[in-house]
Amino acid sequence: MQVNLPDLLKTVHLPKCDWMGLRYMSEHKRYFTVRDERPENVGSDLSQGLMIEVLVNGQFGYAATQEMTKQGLQDAAEHAFNYAKTASQWALFKSTTAQRPTVQGSYAAPYVKPFDSLSVAEIYDVLREACKVLKASDKIIKTATSTQMILGHSEYVTTYGTHIQQKFNQMMTHMEAIAREGTIVQRRTDNGYVSRMYQSGLEGLNADQMKARAAQIALQALELLQAKDCPTTKTNVVIAPDQMMLQIHESIGHPLELDRILGDERNYAGFSFVRPHDFGKLQYGSKILNVTFDPTYPGESASYNFDDSGNKATKEYLIKDGVLVRALGSLDSQMRSKVPGVANSRACSWNRPPIDRMANINVEPGDKTFEQIIGDVEDGIYMETNRSWSIDDYRNKFQFGCEYAREIKNGKLGAALRNPNYRGTTNQFWNNLVALGNGSTNLVFGAPNCGKGEPNQSIRVGHASPVCSFKDLEVFGGAV
Amino acid sequence: MSLAFCENAEQQFNLVSQALFSALQSNEVATLRISGEKSHFVRFNQGKVRQCGHVGDASVSIKLVRSKRTVDINLPISIIDQNSAEANKAAVLGALADLRVLADAVPEDPFVIFPENLGSSHNEMKGQTLSTELHIDRLIEPLSKLDATGYYAGGPSFRGLANSAGQRHWFSSESFFVDYSLYLPNEKSVKLYYSGNDWDDAKFKKQVDDGARQLKVLEAKPRSVPPGRYRTYLAPAAVSDLVSMFSWHGVSEGSLRRGESSLRALRDKSKTLSSQFGLRENFEKIHVPRFNSYGEVATNQIELISHGKLVNTLISRRTAKEYGIESNGASPYEGIRAPEVLGGKISEKEILKLLGTGLYLSNLHYLNWSDVQGGRVTGMTRYACFWVENGNIVAPIENLRWDESLYHYFGEGLVGITDFQELIPDTSTYGERALGGTLVPGMLVDGFTFTL
């Protein structure tokens, strides 16, 4: 960015306001998609702009602009001022400068290899070679590989002296194969839709590792063509981290968002079964369940040092020994509800205001190896990789589908099962958690498109989880 | 507010497209697209303002074909400042230089699409939206005594396309929507949309008042309905959600060819839908740009499902080239841009009588495929949903999860379709304000499956 943000903010003149904050955000994305060893989408995307926020008479107003000049910012500031002033008589709550702390600091996401350490042709070749491995049989009718490399930058200054700079480099890869025999069609991916999303450099695009995983994806896609359908029954289910991530996201992350609990999201994403008085009391899950908000996890997709309202980010327990202890609530929501929260005021882009979001929401590992977890199950099903997700607006009644499953008989993995699905209700499900994998089973993934907010915002979040074992879960297969 | 903003944008677009196309080399062709808006957003909860602000946003994207290599770039463009023309030209020419480097490093695209001059168009939809920045009271006052939650979004927006073959399209409109719900203390609620091009205080207030009256019927103690199969009336907003699934693993020709579509069985005629069911793309009734990102202009109407049979799929130019078939002006994504489900014979007065005993669903929530190949969809009930006995509303229900195949609810289970349709506006604002909506009737279905 060419402009000096603190100096630019000083040029703004408004009649009377209590506080101003100016946030710059940019993202430069480069993407490559290869389908059936041929180029499908190759290109780049640049987004950058400013958002100014103004506090007048206890009401914030905002305005976003791409015109990063004195005049452009002045025009935007007047919009923000007008909004704050006219809306203050209709304010839902009275805001203060305490919701925008005065801090200075920075963050730089970790990486080893810069994005330009491979040429465009070399990056394309890694994807094409992986595609070639995915095409393990004529029964595989579609192969696709892709990557996105994103350089993100945010800078935030306020009239109270806050100055924060944060740099985020994100690396995503995706692979999939679709296999068909007769009327049976099965899709297998690399841990789900763009789930391999990390704060990383080009070390995230490892040709040998991608080819090894591609071979496994192709093998399992073909295996599913011959597999039995998942039975309809109530049984023990062991869930891999690449499905746990969606389970955590939908049935822990969203219901703990304080703006949902306060009703802000009732018209869109929904409400929550959690109420303010539940914090410190509700037995959310079994006693082995510990869940953290952890923006300090190195390489996880939503790590940062400050949220987009300047709140310092720290690791916090949301659920401790199964009991709900803390909400996913920004300083705005904490002030309104008096419920303890975290630094999660996040905006997806320069043109959207920060709201309460997930960041990295993780299930903390337990003490069992994968073999011990499977060994403890006499009869059950092991499921991997999300392919379908749905939950009600109170985040209670859910249904998930997975790509791949195996029978568990007498403590050993058995034959593959296709079209595995399960459904349940949030509290009952988490209270049926009977075993947690240790660190050796723990994997980190990301969700690239968590949707929420009015106007709508799609943001990246991270989830780490060990392998988890549940009892008494309703499972079923595909359409008859 | 006026369309002057859009006129400025059009001028800037003309200048940068001229600069881009004149800089192309003999082995290059290009398409330039622009998209932007000035939006006012007012978010409210409990009938009070939660967040409010203004967003000005515009970007151009260039698709360069260079020696049969295809590469894309998207970048911001300044359209407010009249002095920004030179900076915009420089940005676009800088992007062109980057694209050339990128193109030279990737292989030839076997399904490369060269821009053609397929005809130009110019379409402006004028309107008078509410300047909420100065007159927020006209939005909030009618809501202020209610537990109202939702948001207003409005202002001018535009889409444009030009290519090096000489084609040019422009679409601009001034539009708004209020997407909101009214809640009771028992947390039962009704969902409402007020949308259009010209704000009318009286119409908005009447809708709010009517909505408040609808809440009365939700005051009764909710009934917990056990899982099972029930005769079910799906109101137009609920049908709109079901129809949206056709744009995700549905009527896309590419999706069908690659085994990703839920309509395989309909295509190979091993299954059929009800002869009452008809789905088409209708640009005459739903106002969105008819041109796609290749510059093709779709015909006013494309029948997709007629009398229960799949008569057309959506075919983009790239899919057409890959499989040696004809394009029909679909977007690269091959989703339905102007969906209309044809009406039937059930009058509004007959709905409850014909439903008899079962469920009346105003809205659905969080749909996803539970089995794409089987055409099976899962989701939840939401908002004003009722248990009905012998044609009378008995009580609102506790929300239910459902899981049912489209081959049932649009097929053998479809009892009838209402003789009226409603336009359910597309209120998505991911990245930019969406345009248009879905024109749908209500439907009566026998044996709809509820699971949890």
The tens digit of pLDDT for each residue in B430-447 reads 999 999 999 999 999 999
Taking an 8 Å cut-off on Cβ atoms, the answer to whether A66 and B57 are in contact is yes
Q: Chain B window 280-339: which residues touch A at a Cβ cutoff of 8 Å? A: none
Rounded Cα gap, residues A358 and A463, in angstroms: 10
Taking an 8 Å cut-off on Cβ atoms, the answer to whether A478 and B376 are in contact is yes
Radius of gyration of chain B (CA): 24
Mean per-residue pLDDT, A437-443: 98
Number of other CB atoms surrounding residue B183 within 10 Å: 23
Taking an 8 Å cut-off on Cβ atoms, the answer to whether A142 and B258 are in contact is yes
State the best of B34, B35, B42, B49 to mutate against chain A, taking most chain A CBs within 10 Å.
Answer: B49
Rounded Cα gap, residues B38 and B172, in angstroms: 12
Structure tokens at A461: 């979040």
Residues of chain B with C-beta less than 8 angstroms from the C-beta of A458:
430-431
Question: Is B361 part of the contact surface with chain A (CB cutoff 8 Å)?
Answer: no
What contacts A34, CB < 8 A, 6 or more positions away?
Answer: A40, A124, A127, A128, A131, A144, A145, A146
Name the nearest CA neighbour of A218 among A142, A148, A146: A142
Confidence category of residue A78, pLDDT binned at 50, 70, 90? very high
State the best of B35, B41, B133, B403 to mutate against chain A, taking most chain A CBs within 10 Å.
Answer: B133
Query: In chain A, how many H helices and how many E strands?
Result: 9, 24
Alpha carbon B246 to its chain's center:
12
Predicted confidence at residue A127, as pLDDT, reads 98
Residues of chain B with C-beta less than 8 angstroms from the C-beta of A60:
51
Mean per-residue pLDDT, A169-196: 97
Predicted confidence at residue B83, as pLDDT, reads 76
Question: Is A390 part of the contact surface with chain B (CB cutoff 8 Å)?
Answer: yes
Confidence category of residue B80, pLDDT binned at 50, 70, 90? confident
Q: What is the DSSP letter of A250?
A: I
Is 60 exceeded by the pLDDT of residue A480? no
Predicted confidence at residue B280, as pLDDT, reads 98
Mean per-residue pLDDT, B103-122: 95
Q: What share of chain A is helix, strand, coil (3-state, %, to 5)?
A: 25, 40, 35
Q: How confident is the model over A90-139, as pLDDT tens digits?
A: 999 999 999 999 999 999 999 999 999 999 999 999 999 999 999 999 99
Residue type, A423: R
Residue B67, judged by CB atoms within 10 A of its CB (0-12, 13-18, 19+), counts as exposed
Name the nearest CA neighbour of A66 among B42, B2, B1, B38: B38
User: pTM higher than 0.80, yes or no?
Assistant: yes
Number of other CB atoms surrounding residue B299 within 10 Å: 10
State the best of B31, B34, B50 to mutate against chain A, taking most chain A CBs within 10 Å.
Answer: B50
Residues of chain B with C-beta less than 8 angstroms from the C-beta of A355:
51
Q: What is the DSSP letter of B245?
A: G
Q: How confident is the model over A261-310, as pLDDT tens digits?
A: 999 999 999 999 999 999 999 999 999 999 999 999 999 999 999 999 99
Confidence category of residue B3, pLDDT binned at 50, 70, 90? low
Beta bridge partners, A236, equal A380
Predicted confidence at residue B1, as pLDDT, reads 44
Q: Chain B window 29-68: which residues touch A at a Cβ cutoff of 8 Å? A: 39, 41-46, 48-59
Number of other CB atoms surrounding residue A277 within 10 Å: 9
- Phi, psi dihedrals of residue A93, rounded to the nearest 5°: -155, 160
Is 80 exceeded by the pLDDT of residue B35? yes
Taking an 8 Å cut-off on Cβ atoms, the answer to whether B102 and A42 are in contact is yes
Is 80 exceeded by the pLDDT of residue A331? yes
Q: Chain A window 108-127: which residues touch B at a Cβ cutoff of 8 Å? A: 119-121, 124
Report whether A258 contacts A329 (CB < 8 A): yes
Residues of chain A with C-beta less than 8 angstroms from the C-beta of B131:
none
Rounded Cα gap, residues B57 and B430, in angstroms: 13
Name the nearest CA neighbour of B117 among B81, B159, B166, B73: B166
Secondary structure of residue B231 in the 3-state scheme: strand
Burial annotation A356-392 (CB, 10 A radius, 16+ → b, else e): bbbbbbbbbbbebebeebbebbeebbbbbbbbbbbbb
Taking an 8 Å cut-off on Cβ atoms, the answer to whether B374 and A479 are in contact is yes
Q: What is the DSSP letter of B409?
A: I
Q: Chain B window 149-178: which residues touch A at a Cβ cutoff of 8 Å? A: 149-151, 153
Q: C-alpha distances in angstroms, B442 versus A286, B113, B286, B348? A: 44, 40, 18, 9
Question: Is A60 part of the contact surface with chain B (CB cutoff 8 Å)?
Answer: yes
Structure tokens at A279: 């914090």
Is 70 exceeded by the pLDDT of residue A319? yes
Residues of chain B with C-beta less than 8 angstroms from the C-beta of A149:
none
Rounded Cα gap, residues A45 and B76, in angstroms: 9
Report whether B8 contacts B15 (CB < 8 A): no
Q: C-alpha distances in angstroms, A270 versus A219, A258, A394, B189, B388? A: 40, 12, 6, 12, 25
Please count the CA atoms within 13 angstroms of the CA of A420 that sit on its side-chain side. Answer: 27
Question: Is A147 part of the contact surface with chain B (CB cutoff 8 Å)?
Answer: no
Predicted confidence at residue B2, as pLDDT, reads 55
Rounded Cα gap, residues A457 and B378, in angstroms: 24
Mean per-residue pLDDT, B405-429: 98
Closest-CA residue of chain A to B399: A392
Burial annotation B335-366 (CB, 10 A radius, 16+ → b, else e): bbbbbbbbbbebeeeebbeebeebbbbbbbbb
Q: What is the mean pLDDT of chain B?
A: 96
Q: How confident is the model over B245-274, as pLDDT tens digits?
A: 999 999 999 999 999 999 999 999 999 999
Q: Chain B window 380-409: which residues touch A at a Cβ cutoff of 8 Å? A: 380, 382, 399, 401, 403, 405
Report whether A368 contacts A437 (CB < 8 A): yes
Is 70 exceeded by the pLDDT of residue A59? yes
CA distance A438 to chain B (A): 31
Structure tokens at A292: 């953290």
If you count residue pairs, one on A and one on B, with CB atoms under 8 Å apart, how many are there?
A: 255
Task: State ipTM.
Answer: 0.96
Question: Is A182 part of the contact surface with chain B (CB cutoff 8 Å)?
Answer: no
Q: Chain A window 417-476: which residues touch B at a Cβ cutoff of 8 Å? A: 419, 421, 423-425, 451, 454-458
Taking an 8 Å cut-off on Cβ atoms, the answer to whether A69 and B81 are in contact is yes
Residue type, B219: E
Rounded Cα gap, residues B248 and A3, in angstroms: 42
Q: How many residues does chain B have?
A: 452
Is 70 exceeded by the pLDDT of residue A227? yes
Mean per-residue pLDDT, B19-29: 98
Q: Chain A window 273-312: which residues touch B at a Cβ cutoff of 8 Å? A: none
Question: Is B223 part of the contact surface with chain A (CB cutoff 8 Å)?
Answer: no
Confidence category of residue B413, pLDDT binned at 50, 70, 90? very high
Confidence category of residue A1, pLDDT binned at 50, 70, 90? low
Taking an 8 Å cut-off on Cβ atoms, the answer to whether A267 and B140 are in contact is no
Rounded Cα gap, residues A468 and A445, in angstroms: 15
- Which of A185, A267, A351 is closest, CB to CB, to B55? A351
Report whether A350 contacts A49 (CB < 8 A): yes
Question: Is B195 part of the contact surface with chain A (CB cutoff 8 Å)?
Answer: no
Beta bridge partners, A467, equal none
Is 70 exceeded by the pLDDT of residue B81? no
Question: Is B197 part of the contact surface with chain A (CB cutoff 8 Å)?
Answer: no
Residue type, A368: K
Question: Is A138 part of the contact surface with chain B (CB cutoff 8 Å)?
Answer: no
Is 50 exceeded by the pLDDT of residue A197? yes
Radius of gyration of chain A (CA): 24
Q: C-alpha distances in angstroms, A141 versus A56, A180, A208, B50, B259? A: 60, 7, 23, 50, 8
Q: How confident is the model over B358-393, as pLDDT tens digits?
A: 999 999 999 999 999 999 999 999 999 999 999 999
Predicted confidence at residue A479, as pLDDT, reads 73
Report whether B363 contacts B384 (CB < 8 A): yes
Name the nearest CA neighbour of A53 among A162, A140, A185: A162
Taking an 8 Å cut-off on Cβ atoms, the answer to whether B42 and A397 are in contact is no
